Structure 1
Amino acid sequence: MNIRLLLLLLCLVPKVDAQTLYTKAFGNPQHPALLFLHGGPGYNCASFEISTAPLLAEQGYYVIVYDRRGEGRSTDPNAEFSLAEAAADMQSVLEQYKVTKAHLLGHSFGGILALKFARTHPEMVSSVVLISAPLDLQESFQHIIAQCKTIYEAKEDLVNLKYLGLLQEMAPHSMLFASYCFMHALRNGFYATPNPTPQAQQRYTALVDHPDYKRWGNAMTEQAPLGFHRNDAYTQMKMYDLIRQVLQKKVPVFGLYGEDDRLYPKTQRQTLEALLPQGHFKSWERCGHTVFIDQQALFFDAMNLLPKG
């Protein structure tokens, strides 16, 4: 083939940059930086980006959000889905926005990433804020099963009791076991508060009506949990020692949880509270897994506790 014709044809092929992450920033770059790490694995930052990030920026913060590689709007067919890859991308996002040090807001699974990054790069972390983050998932799975069994027995739901029995026969460290536990938790409303405030209800109504949430709000990337499980066995992690290590590196750690978040036993929140300095732990009523929507005003108040330096 004529080389000039070949070059012309190549120019007509659309270029897809698989390495590009979806990122967005809100507020004044001169203000203290907050990097939001979304949950999952397999989810995205849409709910926080729409409901909370712009308002948090108005409180005097420079708020950066992004979807992890291969998740949500950060399409990458070559994503590894590993903690090491996620940490490298976190560093790249901070560099992209010329941020040398940031508060890490780790929601759910994002809390694991925040702690891992803070242990490795304490000089880049102003604080870690654990927002409904898992502390011992294997214990949490047993907690979910026990709650579901009580619910199904009360309803005389023999079908789901049978499925629960089959679940308990699975290998507890398998991804299938974790997936079914989360499925039963979702089915029984463990993520949500049964008694949301009127303000929270208004926020949820506005959120689900937002076009970006309609497109991405419930979009899940199935490869992500499989990859993080394969590469890092994240469902077997216990976070208490990691929290101690981060604190030893002089990085402040905060915990923000909902009393109605039934994914985790109350004893986990109590253990975390005992680990953290006084005033660094908050657990709110009428609040489920999505703290920054369920109790947004209290969430903003908690942000005022973060160190300013």
Structure 2
Amino acid sequence: MQKTLLLFCSIISFIANTQTNHTIYSKTYGQSGNPAILFIHGGPRGNSTLFEGTTAQKLAEKGFYVIVYDRRGEGRSIDNTATFTYQEAIKDLIELYKNYNIKKATIIAHSFGGLVGTLFTEQNPEKVNSLILAGALFSQQETYDHILKTTKENYTEKKDNLMLSKISEIEKLPKNSAEYRKQCYEIASQNNYFKMPFPTKEANQIRENYELSEFGKNNIRNDNAPILFYKNESKNNIDTKPILKNLKKQVKLFAIYGQEDGVFSEKQLNDIKKIVNKQNFKIIENCSHYLFVDQQQIFINTIAKWLK
């Protein structure tokens, strides 16, 4: 009887904390009266399962009301009619604010989510207390150029003519195409640009727990998302630095990046540091693209310090 009651309470808690707008998956962690944090995941093709399954609850325990969601057509928000445009994503974010009765929130924007979060904040600055760029994209072509330049150097040193030829073929692809983006990131992944260089025991345990959890099992990827994004979205290769420079007059800007995140050049990190200002910028050592897993405690403590 007691087990049945506990199960019933768990189900009620899940229903109470999960809102559905059409096909949008979302869930909250923490008390609704606490300062709101909205996490925007990477992609297009991604989901928020990694952040939700590893970090959302721990961040909530620091005194925040954490909201996670999967963008329309991505992850658990299955929708065959999704267009994958920025305006669609922005419209859904506004509905998410309404669903949870939020007037203002801090946005943590990861990877491609950095572009979504920046454009949302540009159009709705009154809804954003702070924008935190966490391993977030902000100058796409610079990232692609950096990936191809550094991998070319790696393969030149190894005298790997086959891979050098592969890079030459990538460089010939249209810069505003899904295939160009895909191949740039594939070659970055082959060179471990997204991996923590020296995994700690804690990071390995977090990853292992995630893979074995329901979140890991629901790590749904929509391979059509990038294709449709490039088909339907004209702003498919942008530089948001000018937008961010203007935004700092209206909202608080922060940036946190991994020292070994291979998709960003030193110049890019210096550029974003100048935009947000030194005191609002953090580089984490022995950390790559998924900094909330690679160095979770440092990530959480930094966010809490900034927002408190």
Compute the TM-score of the two structures, normalised by the length of structure 1: 0.89
For structure 2, list consecutive stretches of 5 or more residues without a partner in the other structure.
Answer: 1-19
For structure 1, list consecutive stretches of 5 or more residues without a partner in the other structure.
Answer: 1-16
Of 186-195 and 42-51, more deviation after overlay is shown by 186-195
Hey, what's the Cα distance between the residues in 2 that align with 1:23 and 1:77?
A: 18
Task: Tell me if 1:246 matches 2:247.
Answer: yes
Call closer, same or farther: CA 1:233–1:187 in 2, change over 3 Å.
farther
Compute the TM-score of the two structures, normalised by the length of structure 2: 0.89
CA-to-aligned-CA distance 1:130-179 (integer Å, 9 cap, x gap): 01111211111111111211222233323222211211222222221111
Q: In structure 2, which of residues 105, 108, 111 is the aligned counterpart of residue 108 of structure 1?
A: 111
Q: Could you tell me whether the CA contact under 8 Å between 1:81 and 1:231 is conserved in 2?
A: yes
**Amino acid in structure 2 at the alignment position of 1:296:** Q
Residue pairs, 1:1-309, within 5 angstroms: 19-216=22-219, 219-248=220-249, 250-307=250-307
Hey, what's the Cα distance between the residues in 2 that align with 1:196 and 1:146?
A: 26
Of 86-95 and 233-242, more deviation after overlay is shown by 233-242
Call closer, same or farther: CA 1:43–1:190 in 2, change over 3 Å.
same
Hey, what's the Cα distance between the residues in 1 that align with 2:285 and 2:117?
A: 25
**Amino acid in structure 1 at the alignment position of 2:227:** L
Hey, what's the Cα distance between the residues in 1 that align with 2:88 and 2:208?
A: 35
Secondary structure class of the residue paired with 1:236? coil
1:210, distance to aligned residue in structure 2 (A): 1.6
1:305, distance to aligned residue in structure 2 (A): 3.4
**Amino acid in structure 1 at the alignment position of 2:152:** K
Q: In the alignment, which residue of structure 1 is the partner of 2:5?
A: none
Secondary structure class of the residue paired with 2:38? strand
Q: Percent identity?
A: 33
**Amino acid in structure 2 at the alignment position of 1:253:** L
1:209, distance to aligned residue in structure 2 (A): 1.8
1:20, distance to aligned residue in structure 2 (A): 2.2
Which stretches of structure 1, 4 residues or more, deviate above 6 A after TM superposition? none
1:214, distance to aligned residue in structure 2 (A): 2.8
Q: Could you tell me whether the CA contact under 8 Å between 2:114 and 2:138 is conserved in 1?
A: no
**Amino acid in structure 2 at the alignment position of 1:290:** Y
Q: In the alignment, which residue of structure 2 is the partner of 1:3?
A: none
Of 33-42 and 159-168, more deviation after overlay is shown by 159-168
Q: Could you tell me whether the CA contact under 8 Å between 1:228 and 1:234 is conserved in 2?
A: no
Q: How many residues align?
A: 289
Which structure would you say has the larger Rg? 1
